[in-house]
Structure 1
Amino acid sequence: MWLAYLMALPTLTVTFLRVLAIILPGKLGQKAGFAAFCVTSMIMMCICASYGVVASIALRIVGYGGLGQWTVARAFKWTMWLSTGVTFRITESGKIEGGRRGGEEALATRPVVLVGNHQTEMDVLMLGCTFPKYTSVTAKSSLKWVPLLGWFMVLSKTVFIDRANRTTARAAFDSAAHTMRTERQNVFIFPEGTRSYYDKPDLLPFKKGAFHLAIQAQVPIVPIVCANYSHVLNVKAKHFHPGTIDVSVLPAIPTKGMTAADVDALVKRTRDSMLEELIRLSHVSGTGNGVPLPRTAAIDGDTEASELRKRN
């Protein structure tokens, strides 16, 4: 009987918080709604991580271990949408570079290093909604010791990085590059390195690890840009509102023939492209306005074109 009560406790807690969000005035109700979202997210993550442990073992047995993170990502996408009313959707950026398109076409390219902007803890759900098959994430090495989540990550080919130890971090990237070449496994990295919590369309400076990895493996970079969603979730202000958030996948950036000497230029090219798209998305979604649309460099010979304005 006590086990039944224990299992019912999370549901009762969320229900209680949601009732408070409805009946309490102003900021009190807002904070209760935020707390309900946080508790629900943790419950869904635990459920999906538990499923992930079983699914990863089963997929490894039948020779499809590379699908472990994708299947759990999709499970998290649907459980979060049903329980919180928030989701992410891939939109068409309209950007073409060298004949290469973004969107689903770019996501179908394998193997690649996927890079995305990192706003809050809810970016885990963004991964759940956009994650292509045969993709693994990178994570700090301490997460492997977290019950359920860590077990799942270990079993599903997560690339663990010890940021305090340069030698082991380099070894992890060497192993990831080998896996990418031999198993055609993608790797997803947040190049900002930490969450920005920005309430405007902007990016933190990029770290270079993702770009070194792409050049080492000689695979393309695929930028994934998530619109600023502080109107849906604002961790600092502690408010949450259900909604759908736009995500744009830009055309792949080739690294064939590049060397370590090209890393800085590759970082700048990728970050500039992502920031322009982030600002464009803020205008398309109607949030984050007030930041002017930037002019872009020529694309496919369209000299000094206001390319973002045309795509907007």
Structure 2
Amino acid sequence: MCSLSILKTILLVILAANTLAFFNIAFKPLRFYSRVAVYIFLMMITAIYGFIASAFLALIGKRGLGQWTTARAFYALCSVILGVKIEVRNEEILKTRPAVFLSNHQSELDILILGRSFPQWCSVTAKKSLKYYPFLGWFMTMSSTVFVDRGNRNNAFKAFDSAAKKMNDEKQSVFMFPEGTRSYFQTPDLLPFKKGAFHLAIQAKVPIVPFVTCNYAHVLDLKKKRFEPGTIIIEVLKPVSTENKTSADVNDMVEEVRNSMLTCVKKLGKEAESDKTK
């Protein structure tokens, strides 16, 4: 009994310290870890909601809205509890349907970015291994995620065949990160782009809609252990047509889209620097 009481006391002290750190009252070195823990907890809660919501939407014939409603729920929670606000410019372009939506990929916080910007009637692509994760995998399966076997080129293209057909038959859009991995950049920049999203857009004969998230190291910086409230800007760019395009045009399209996104991310970076000096 004595040992149990000591354990309860230790847990209460840890909880109290993390709570004070979260609100920036005391134990400030714990603040980063406290906020990350809350972020992960909110993600788990939202994944459970998403699974239930997606199952219900599937029953009423609106399965394609599962990821959109889950994304919005996650953003609603995080914006209030963590104080991260997201402003979307040219938001009306996100209504383009169907399309292949592309965005830069900075860190794990991009899940929250999608919480605010994810279009209706859209689904993500994800590596096949995520399918077997508790809660997250269940939700992704229920909400029409396109799982891709990245280790098998033939299987990946088969998944794209299925996605292209779904896009045409159901007017369902697809979201992808063309960089393929998180950059963790502390300054405005982009990694090289992979070509899968462009092949998919051409195969499905749908436009590519890029949107750019400003560098948000002022909000989340894993290297400096910083996770603070703040505002993040997203700018949606004009759709890029794939009409009359073939696989021979992919390299040129990759360069065109990446250049336009890089120009935008650097412009947003300059705006942020200008705001600091005011």
Same fold judged by TM-score > 0.5? Answer: yes
Would the alpha carbon gap of residues 288 and 253 (structure 1) be closer, same or farther in structure 2, given more than 3 Å must change?
farther
Note if contact 2:208-2:239 (Cα within 8 Å) is conserved in structure 1.
Answer: yes
| Gap regions ≥5 residues in structure 1 | 1-9, 92-102, 290-312
Q: Which residue of 1 aligns with 2:232?
A: 245
Does the Cα contact within 8 Å between 2:85 and 2:230 map onto a contact in 1? Answer: yes
Q: Which amino acid aligns with 1:63?
A: G
Given the superposition, is the C-alpha separation of residues 87 and 14 from structure 1 closer, same or farther in structure 2, using an over 3 Å criterion?
farther
Structure 1 counterpart of 2:81, one-letter code: S
**Deviation, structure 1 residue 14:** 6.2
Distance in 1 (alpha carbons) for counterparts of 2:117 and 2:71: 9
Residue correspondence of structure 1 range 201-212 to structure 2 within 5 A: 201-212=188-199
Q: Once the 2 structures are TM-superposed, how far is the Cα of residue 279 of structure 1 from its aligned partner?
A: 0.6
Deviates more, 1:78-87 or 1:182-191: 78-87
Task: Note if 1:196 corresponds to 2:183.
Answer: yes
Query: Would you say 1:17 and 2:15 are equivalent positions?
Result: no
Write the deviation string for residues 58-90 of structure 1: whole angstroms up to 9, x where unpaired.
Answer: 000000000000000000000111111113210
Alignment of 1:74-153 (within 5 A): 74-91=72-89, 103-153=90-140
Pair 1:236-2:237 in alignment: no
Hey, what's the Cα distance between the residues in 2 that align with 1:13 and 1:105?
45
Deviation of 1:285 (Å): 2.2
Contact 1:14 1:36 in 2 (8 A): no
Alignment of 1:165-204 (within 5 A): 165-204=152-191
Equivalents in 2 of 1:288, 1:138: separation in Å?
A: 36
Q: Show structure 2 runs of 5+ residues with no match.
A: 1-10
C-alpha distance in 2 between matches for 1:14 and 1:266: 51
Using a 3 Å threshold, how does the CA distance of structure 1 residues 233 and 128 change in structure 2: closer, same or farther?
same
* Contact map agreement 1:137 1:187 (CA 8 A) in 2: yes
Supply the distance in 2 between the matched residues of 1:249 and 1:241 (Cα, whole angstroms): 25
Q: Greater helix share, 1 or 2?
A: 2
| 8 Å Cα contact 2:201-2:242 kept in structure 1 | yes
| DSSP 3-state at the match of 1:191 | coil
TM-score, length basis structure 2: 0.91
Asked if the contact 1:87/1:125 (under 8 Å) is kept, the reply is no
Partner of 2:32: 34
How large is the RMSD of aligned CA atoms in angstroms?
Answer: 2.0
Asked if the contact 2:71/2:115 (under 8 Å) is kept, the reply is yes
| Alpha carbons 2:36, 2:227 under 8 Å: kept | no
Change in 2 beyond 3 A, CA 1:177/1:52:
same
Give the superposition deviation at 1:236: 1.4
1:51 positional shift: 0.5
Check whether the contact 1:14–1:39 (CA below 8 A) recurs between aligned residues: no
Distance (whole Å) between structure 2 residues aligned to residue 207 and residue 288 of structure 1: 33
**Contact 1:201–1:288 (8 Å) recurs in 2:** no
Structure 2 residue 71 is the aligned partner of structure 1 residue 73: yes
CA distance in 2, matches of 1:288, 1:196: 24
Residue deviations 1:88-137, cap 9 Å, x none?
2102xxxxxxxxxxx22321110000000000000000000001100101
Q: Which position in structure 2 is the counterpart of 1:281? A: 268
Q: Kindly indicate whether the alpha-carbon contact (under 8 Å) linking 1:113 and 1:186 is maintained by their aligned counterparts in 2.
A: yes
Stretch moving more, 130-139 or 82-91:
82-91
Partners of 2:99 and 2:206 within 8 A in 1: yes
* TM-score (norm. length: structure 1): 0.81
Contact 1:225/1:274 (<8 A) preserved = yes
Q: Is the 8 A contact 1:136 1:158 kept in 2?
A: yes
Distance in structure 1 (CA, Å) of the matches to 2:127 and 2:13: 33
